[in-house]
Structure 1
Amino acid sequence: MSEIAVVAISIAKAGFEEQLREALEGIVAPSRAEAGALQYDLHRDLREPRRFVFYERWESEEALAVHAQSAHIAAYRKAIADWVEHSEIHVLKKIK
């Protein structure tokens, strides 16, 4: 197995910043408790408060795939569908 990192960025639609923040905060604890989760940290951009960034570390791509299919992530995606203007997920492998 090879450890991977994820940078997940979500930008809230204007007026939905706090709803999105609360939803994001709600997935932190269950995600950290998942098998294979090494780090799962939520950040908010100081210069663009509509931008939220997760920095995650997972034991493997398989662990990340299980996370992506988890019930709490499915519920989160459904809840935030109308609150997000843009999102990106970058799956990374450390090279040095």
Structure 2
Amino acid sequence: MSEITVVAISVAKPGHEEQLRAALEGIVGPTRKEQGVLQYDLHRDVQEPRRFVFVERWVSEEALAAHAKSAHIQAYRKAVADWIEHAEIRVASKIA
């Protein structure tokens, strides 16, 4: 089992920036209480304010998979489906 780092990017559709921001902020607290989370930080792109970036660290792929299945993440995905123009998730394993 090795540590997993995730960079998750969500780009809001024009006019939905603040709705998406509020929804993203709403999942920070519950996620930080999950077993296996080491870091879960939300950022907003300085040059493109429609772009939000999570930098996450998890103890394992299993912990990340459990996070994806959590009730608050499932509810979040349903709530924001019409507000997101583009989403990308990159998962990397720590090597050094």
Q: Which category of TM-score, normalised to the shorter sequence, fits these structures?
A: over 0.9
- The one-letter amino acid of 1:5's match is T
TM-score normalised according to structure 1 size: 0.98
2:18 and 2:67 map into 1 onto residues whose CA distance is 24
Q: Give 3-state SS (helix, strand or coil) of 1:15's partner.
A: coil
Large movers: runs of 4+ above 2 Å: none
2:25 maps to what in 1? 25
List alignment gaps of at least 5 residues for structure 2. Answer: none
Query: Residue 14 of structure 1 aligns to a residue in which SS?
Result: coil
Aligned identity (percent) is 75
List per-residue Cα deviations over 1:42-84 (Å, max 9, x = no partner): 0000000000000000000000000000000000000000000
Deviation at 1:93, TM superposition (A): 1.1
Please report the TM-score for the alignment, with normalisation by the length of structure 2: 0.98
SS of aligned partner of 2:55: strand
CA shift, 1:94, in A, is: 2.1
Q: Aligned-residue CA RMSD in angstroms?
A: 0.6
CA distance in 2, matches of 1:4, 1:65: 11
Partner of 2:57: 57
Matched with 1:6 is 6
The runs of 5 or more residues in structure 1 that have no matched partner are: none
Question: How many aligned residue pairs are there?
Answer: 96
* Contact 2:2/2:94 (8 A) holds in 1: no
Match of 1:77, SS?
Answer: helix
